[in-house]
Chain A
């Protein structure tokens, strides 16, 4: 479904990605793990078109999307929930969700999707007319995911969905991601919470300083992570 071939990208003078090659198949849930600054978020940003790769190929559904603007990539079915959630704070929950459905435009379907989201995220129904900025962190994360789902993405990319949330909420978020995956949504997940992530994903890539250090099934990576426990173990909180 999604394929990256030796992607290089930079933030100004800093080389953030040095040859990332990875693949996500339809229906899979794949994780990118690694320490801060390994290039996980940058990889997602590059796929989503926020960052233009200097070199390399990105193919999505047999079409090259490297260098295309974010709105064009969103229209092709890739949805990114960025780190920090990026809730449109001065818009209501309703308006956030409406914009989530921007590329769909069918009002009947919009209403149906809304109902579906309410069953998944009951809190959003309660907060429907509240401003996005007045929601708590966990609520915002739910809104961000719900908003992404409104576009019926073929590939959902989540960047640190559990970051900064209370432990109880973190559980909810992980349950939710699992539910989405079981429903058939293809997911590319970036998480610092490595243990929890490896419990739910099919495969994972371990990134280090802008390159793929190793990759494999969740259990394979888990054994590696255990070996390199010192390296990956205690970097969850900053």
Chain B
């Protein structure tokens, strides 16, 4: 029953979810803010694909996709600078509400400027092609998303481990006040976190819109929820937790799709959340514990 195509499709789904969760948690780790405008970054990348694809430029799709990702990262940075920075020192609640405002604002902007209806995004030929692996056809798109995730996780790990900015990002997630006392500018780490967050949202958006080849103003709602739940399962306090949570979400979801009888398939989400509740009952802080600051005596 667990065929190779099921396996690859599951890991592919998990890879997308893991990237989503990571993008959400990297901001949460530092600001303790669940950025509810996160889903809209995927929407922005989707519309960037649509607009750039419609311009009839001779740019190859690959370049357009990279531009779309960069635009999502840039918009993420702009939301931080324009919306979050002014309220940052007020309170966490103020930031949370701001994130709802940004979300609504971006969605309505898309409704107003573009259209409430779905718009087609350009897709490269390989997104609809398959390769035969061990006798079964595997969509190339799924293999690509796995490779992308592995490459990006690797790159991010290197950044976090070996660059001063990366060390500062981890330090800020650990103790933001102390990090600033060491001379690390708050704006630097927060901006970096938002840019990385937007980057991951943009990358996922390429694959997410690739499934239906279209983008709508409300496309961000589902991925936001997935990212949030994945973070909750894995643990909000560290990046590894988010990645594990993302893959776990993908695996559980795939297994439910496989095992649930036909007439219950529509309730897949309900079962999903039931499992999440069970996980939280036994591991309220998520599966991966954050860094505990316990101290030896001596």
Q: Do A and B bind each other?
A: yes
Query: Cβ of B168: which chain A residues have Cβ within 8 Å of it?
Result: 99, 102
Q: Are B167 and A86 in contact (CB under 8 A)?
A: no
A86 CA to B179 CA, complexed, in Å = 9
Which residues of chain A have C-beta atoms less than 8 A from B291's C-beta?
89-90, 131, 133
Task: Please give the distance in Å from B246's CB to the nearest CB on chain A.
Answer: 21
Contact (Cβ within 8 A) A136 B184: no
Provide the residues of chain B in CB contact with A53, threshold 8 Å.
Answer: none
- Determine which of B164, B174, B293, B297 lies in contact with A102 in the assembled complex, contact meaning CB atoms within 8 Å: B164
Let me know if B171 and A137 touch, CB within 8 A. no
Q: Which of A23-31, A74-82, A209-217 contacts B (4 or more CB under 8 A)?
A: A74-82
Chain B CB within 8 A of A227 CB: no
For the complex, give the distance between the alpha carbons of A225 and B240 in Å.
Answer: 53
Write the B182-217 contact mask toward A (1 if CB under 8 angstroms, else 0): 111110000000000000000000000000000000
User: Chain B: which residue is nearest A147 at the CB level?
Assistant: B182
Contact between B182 and A102, CB atoms less than 8 A apart: yes
A103 at the interface (CB under 8 A from B): yes
Q: Is the CB of B292 within 8 A of A70?
A: no
Chain A: residues with Cβ within 8 Å of the partner, total of: 34
- Are A90 and B170 in contact (CB-based, < 8 A)? yes
Per-residue contact bits, chain B 151-185, to A (CB 8 Å; 1 contact, 0 not): 00000000000001001101101110111111111
Contact A86 B175 (CB under 8 A): yes
Residues of B within 8 A of A140 (CB): 295
Q: Which of B164, B175, B293, B297 contacts A98 (CB 8 A)?
A: B164
Q: Which residues of A contact B177 (CB under 8 A)?
A: 50, 70, 82, 86
- CB–CB B183/A91 < 8 A: no
A48 on the B face (CB < 8 A): yes
Shortest CB-to-CB span from A94 to chain B, Å, is: 9
Interface 0/1 of B250-268, CB less than 8 Å to A? 0000000000000000000
B174 near A136 with CB under 8 A, answer no
CA distance A69 to B180 in the complex (A): 8
Q: Does B90 contact A (CB under 8 A)?
A: no
The 24 sampled A-B contact pairs (Cβ below 8 Å) are A69-B180, A69-B185, A69-B186, A70-B181, A71-B181, A71-B183, A71-B184, A71-B185, A71-B186, A75-B183, A80-B181, A82-B181, A89-B293, A90-B170, A95-B170, A99-B171, A102-B164, A131-B291, A134-B296, A135-B295, A136-B295, A136-B297, A151-B183, A166-B298
Contacts A79-B181, A89-B292, A134-B296 known; list 19 others, CB within 8 Å.
A74-B183, A80-B181, A82-B181, A86-B175, A88-B174, A90-B170, A90-B291, A91-B171, A95-B167, A99-B179, A99-B184, A103-B183, A133-B292, A133-B293, A133-B295, A137-B295, A138-B298, A151-B183, A166-B298
Closest 10 CB pairs of A and B: A90-B291, A74-B183, A103-B183, A136-B298, A86-B178, A89-B293, A70-B180, A136-B296, A71-B185, A88-B174
Chain B interface (Cβ within 8 Å of chain A)? 164, 167-168, 170-171, 173-175, 177-186, 291-298
